[in-house]
Structure formats: C-alpha cells, structure tokens
C-alpha cells in the first residue's frame, strides 16, 4: 500500500495494531541499543584515560633511567595503541580543547607532573591528536604523541544481529495481531452471510475466553433472529394462504352480481387481490425454502434453455457470452432471479438482452440489459424493498406487486451472489448478478 493511500484510507485494525506494536518495539530496542553504545564508549574512554596515565608514568621513569643511547631502541616496545614516544621536542600548537584530550593530559599530568614539568598542545589534523612534552632528568626532550581512540570499533555481526532481532519482533508482532484480529474477521463474515435462508455460519465457540464469549453471544443472537424471522414468514404465509378461500368465495359471489359495470370492477379488484396473495405466498416460500442444494450445472446450457423459453413465447430476449465450464449453483433460485430480471426488462422496455461474462477470479456475471426508462438514481436501492414500485410504473398499468426484485435479492444473498442495478449511460437499466463460483458455501 502506497503512503498516499495509507494516509487517505483509515487503516484496518490489523495494520494499526501491527504498526503501533512494531514501532514501539523498534523504538524501545533502538533506544536500548543506543544507551548500551553510549555507556560502552564512556567506559572505554574512562579506562583508556586511566591506563594512559599509569603506563606513561612507568615508561617515562624507565626511559629516564636508561642511557640516552639505548632509548631509541626501546621506543617501539613502549608504544601503545593510543600513543607512542618521540625522542625530541615534537610540534608546537594550541592547548587541546577536545574533552578526551583534556582528560588524557590531566591524567598524564597527575601521574608524572610532580616529577617532570610538562606542557601539552594539540596537533591540527582530521583525527584528535595531541602531544605532551616532557624534559627528562638529563635535560633531553621527550614527546608523548597521543592519538586517543575513545570508541571501540563495532563488531561486524552486530548489525546483522540487530536486524535479526527486528525481524523476530516483526514476526512475533504479526502473529500476535493476527491472533487478536482473526476472530473479528470471522465474526464479520458470519454476520455477512446471515441471509434470508437463515443458515448462518455457526462460529466455533472455543479459543480465548473473550473470543469464545463473543462467539457464543453471536450464535445465540443468530438463532433468535432466525426464530423471529421464521415466525414472521409463517404468519405471512398463513395469512396469504388463508385469504385465498374467501377471495374465491367472493369471486363466485361477484359472478352473480347483476350490475355489469360493478361486477367487472369487483372482478378486477379481486384479481389484484389474488395476485397479491399469490405473490405473498411465493415470497414467504422464497424466504423459507431458499435452502436449495447447490449442484454442478453447465451455465451455458442453462442460460440457453432459459432464453429459449422466452423466445418460444415470442418475447424479444437475446443471449451473448459464454462461461465455457461448469459451475456450482442453485439452478431453481438462479432461474427465479433471472426470470424476475428478464420479466422486468420485458415489462418495462419490451425487450431484453442477456450477457454472460466470466472473469478471471472465478466469478461469473450475468447481466440483464434493457433500453427502457431505467429507474431514478435515488430509487435504485428502494426498488429492492418488498412491494416497492416506482411511481411512474404504477401509473403505467404495468401490473405486478413489487416483489420481483425483492425476491431476486433475497435469493441472491442466500446464494452468496450479489445483485446490483445501474442505469446505463445511453438509456435503460443494467441488472448485474455476480456469482462467486469459488465461494465456500456448501448448501
Ligand atoms: N427494467 C426496469 N426498467 C425500469 N424500471 C424497472 C425495471 N425493473 C424494475 N423496475 C422498477 O422497479 C420496481 C420494482 O420491481 P419489481 O420487479 O420488484 O416489481 P414489479 O416488477 O413492479 O412487480 P413484480 O415483479 O412483483 O411482478 C418496478 O415496479 C419498476 O418501477
Ligand atoms: Mg418485476
């Protein structure tokens, strides 16, 4: 994810937690590494300063004792990593101003200053460099040439170890955060799949106490919702069903009415009521019995037979596109969804064009297109509600109860498919049903 996108989009919980914990660990680790290095350098410098003082004292005393002719031969053996001796007056210069140089000169002064008068000056250059001038008992000049090294070099494996630690921290952090956020993902998935078939995913109730508690509560909630829904569907089905008998009786009575005009009006109204009742029963059945088992079908043959039924009935429905492989689907539900969409296209525009598209990610889109008036943008969502009809279509006497799209959407959800409506740029409506062939729904 680019930084720009990261800044614009709110991060997922997983990313946020990972970022916070990982940054915290890195900063803490970096800080402790830095403190260790500072401490180590200070200790090294202190030890070095003390050592230089002591060693220089014994070396100068030794050089002072031996004959001047022997001194040059001894110098290499008296030299150390930080300093060496020069038999001569050395160079002149300004007094040292770096702290380490001052500490070293103070240490040398303390150890030999009472016996030998000394003078100290720094030598200009890239590295810190100073010279301490001493006059030995026989009057000959001796210079201690000091190049202090306050820091120990880093060992080569230290950066590798540091990065290995960072990698370990990143891995632990990833595992911990994944562990914490995974149940949330599962919960969201289960809530998403609670469709009208009421076949919710039963969350596993083991794991950490908090997760198990949430899963238990969620499962109980799903069961309650399922129970309420079933109850309502049963009531709807019962009312719709029981209304059929009195309607039939009323039709018989209406047939006996004398006034022809009144009789026709009555019969028309009864027909409408009958249609509503029939649709009500169908709707209840859709919600109640959407548990059709998925089976392997050949979508191309399936679509051809569906479209044939329409052309046989003299309706202008065309089919383009092919899938070219079998898929897992619920054929009856699929037939009802597509039937409702094609019926709408025919009803509201007179013709329909059906396009089958197969995408690379195992998805299949069946698009039902028409060249009718479309649906006002602000009502594209509302038409999925039961009994909702766009005002103009009520006036157009197109018939219908407004349940077609609602049933189609419910069935699509139960199939783990998506059903969307969109107005086409150049007029008409596009209804798109996208089936996820790879979806793990087993029923
Ligand atoms: N292809 C379309 N073109 C224009 N409007 C549409 C189209 N499809 C649906 N609509 C609008 O959406 C409303 C709801 O559609 P839906 O299929 O749910 O009900 P219906 O077709 O009116 O009745 P039913 O399908 O129950 O017989 C329709 O009344 C209509 O106003
Ligand atoms: Mg319809």
pLDDT digits (tens, 9 = 90+) for 137-174: 888 999 999 988 767 777 888 889 988 998 999 999 89
Instruction: Tell me the ligand closest to 346's alpha carbon.
Output: 1
Cβ 393 under 6 angstroms from ligand 1? yes
Cβ 421 under 6 angstroms from ligand 1? no
Residues of the chain under the 50 pLDDT cut: 439-443
Instruction: Tell me the ligand closest to 392's alpha carbon.
Output: 1
pLDDT of res. 440: 43
Model confidence pLDDT, tens digit, residues 273-318: 888 888 777 777 766 655 677 889 999 999 999 999 999 989 999 9
Instruction: Tell me the ligand closest to 345's alpha carbon.
Output: 1
Q: Where in the chain is the domain with CATH 3.30.450?
A: 15-146
Cα 86 to Cα 76, 105, 146, distances in angstroms: 10, 16, 11
| Centroid of ligand 1 to alpha carbon of 339 (angstroms) | 12
Q: Tokens 């946020």 appear where?
A: 16
What is the atom index within ligand 1 of the atom nearest the CA of 345?
1
Cβ 339 under 6 angstroms from ligand 1? no
Cβ 85 under 6 angstroms from ligand 1? no
pLDDT of res. 240: 80
Cβ 222 under 6 angstroms from ligand 1? no
Cβ 386 under 6 angstroms from ligand 1? no
The CATH label, of 1.20.950, 1.10.287, 1.20.120, 3.40.190, for the domain at 193-291 is 1.10.287
| Centroid of ligand 2 to alpha carbon of 309 (angstroms) | 17
pLDDT of res. 382: 93
pLDDT of res. 433: 96
Ordered strands of the 141-146 beta sheet: 83-86, 141-146, 130-135, 118-122
Residues near ligand 2 ion, CB 5 Å cutoff: 344, 404
Closest Cα partner for 362 from 414, 325, 410?
325
Instruction: Tell me the ligand closest to 399's alpha carbon.
Output: 1
Cβ 390 under 6 angstroms from ligand 1? yes
What end-to-end distance do the CA atoms of the chain give, in Å? 36
> How buried is residue 379: exposed, middle or buried, by Cβ count under 10 Å (0-12/13-18/19+)?
middle
Q: If phi over 0 gives left and psi between -120 and 50 gives alpha, with beta otherwise, what is residue 124?
A: beta
Structurally, at CATH architecture level, domain 15-146 sits in 2-Layer Sandwich (3.30)
pLDDT of res. 421: 97
pLDDT of res. 420: 96
Full-model pTM: 0.52
pLDDT of res. 151: 73
| Centroid of ligand 1 to alpha carbon of 402 (angstroms) | 6
pLDDT of res. 443: 38
CB distance 308 to 429 below 8 Å: no
Cβ 93 under 6 angstroms from ligand 1? no
The CATH label, of 3.40.50.1370, 3.40.50.970, 3.30.565.10, 2.20.25.570, for the domain at 293-436 is 3.30.565.10
Q: Where in the chain is the domain with CATH 1.10.287?
A: 193-291
Give dist(CA 414, CA 435) in Å, integer: 11
pLDDT of res. 345: 95
* Beta carbons within 8 Å of 346's beta carbon, 6+ residues apart: 310, 315, 316, 317, 352, 370
- Output b/e per residue, 129-146; b: 16+ Cβ within 10 A: bbbbbbebeeeeebbbbb
pLDDT of res. 391: 73
């Amino acid at each position: 994810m680019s930084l720009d996108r990261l800044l614009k989009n709110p991060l997922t919980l997983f990313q946020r937690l990972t970022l916070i914990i990982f940054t915290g660990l890195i900063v803490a680790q970096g800080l402790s590494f830095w403190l260790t290095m500072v401490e180590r350098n200070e200790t090294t410098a202190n030890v070095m300063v003390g050592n230089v003082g002591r060693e220089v004292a014994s070396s100068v005393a030794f050089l002072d004792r031996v004959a001047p002719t022997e001194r040059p031969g001894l110098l290499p053996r008296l030299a150390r990593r930080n300093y060496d001796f020069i038999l001569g007056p050395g160079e002149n210069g300004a007094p040292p101003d770096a702290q380490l140089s001052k500490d070293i000169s103070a240490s040398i002064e303390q150890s030999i200053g009472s016996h030998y008068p000394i003078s100290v000056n720094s030598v200009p250059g890239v590295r810190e460099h100073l010279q301490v001038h001493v006059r030995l008992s026989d009057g000959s000049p001796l210079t201690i040439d000091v190049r202090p090294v306050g820091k120990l070099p880093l060992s080569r494996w230290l950066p590798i170890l540091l990065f290995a630690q960072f990698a370990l921290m990143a891995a632990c952090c990833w595992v911990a955060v994944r562990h914490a956020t995974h149940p949330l993902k599962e919960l969201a998935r289960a809530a998403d799949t609670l469709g009208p078939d009421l076949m919710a995913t039963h969350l596993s109730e083991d794991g950490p106490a908090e997760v198990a508690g949430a899963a238990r509560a969620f499962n109980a909630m799903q069961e309650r919702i399922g129970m309420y829904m079933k109850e309502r569907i049963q009531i709807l089905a019962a009312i719709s069903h029981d209304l059929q008998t009195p309607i039939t009786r009323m039709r018989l009575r209406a047939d006996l009415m004398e006034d022809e005009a009144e009789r026709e009006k009555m019969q028309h109204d009864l027909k409408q009521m009958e249609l509503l009742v029939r649709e009500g029963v169908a709707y209840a059945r859709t919600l109640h019995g959407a548990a059709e088992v998925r089976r392997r079908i050949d979508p191309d043959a399936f679509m051809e037979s569906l479209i044939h039924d329409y052309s046989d009935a003299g309706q202008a429905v065309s089919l383009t596109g092919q899938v070219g492989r079998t898929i897992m689907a619920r054929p009856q539900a699929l037939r009802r969804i597509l039937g409702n969409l094609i019926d709408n296209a025919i009803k509201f525009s007179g013709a329909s064009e059906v396009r089958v598209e197969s995408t690379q990610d195992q998805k299949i889109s069946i698009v039902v297109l028409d060249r009718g008036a479309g649906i006002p943008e602000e009502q594209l969502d509302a038409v999925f509600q039961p009994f909702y009809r766009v005002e103009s279509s009520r006036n157009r006497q197109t018939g219908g109860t407004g349940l077609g799209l609602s049933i189609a959407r419910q069935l699509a959800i139960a199939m783990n498919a998506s059903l969307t409506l969109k107005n086409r740029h150049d007029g008409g409506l596009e209804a798109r049903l996208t089936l996820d062939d790879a979806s793990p729904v087993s029923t």
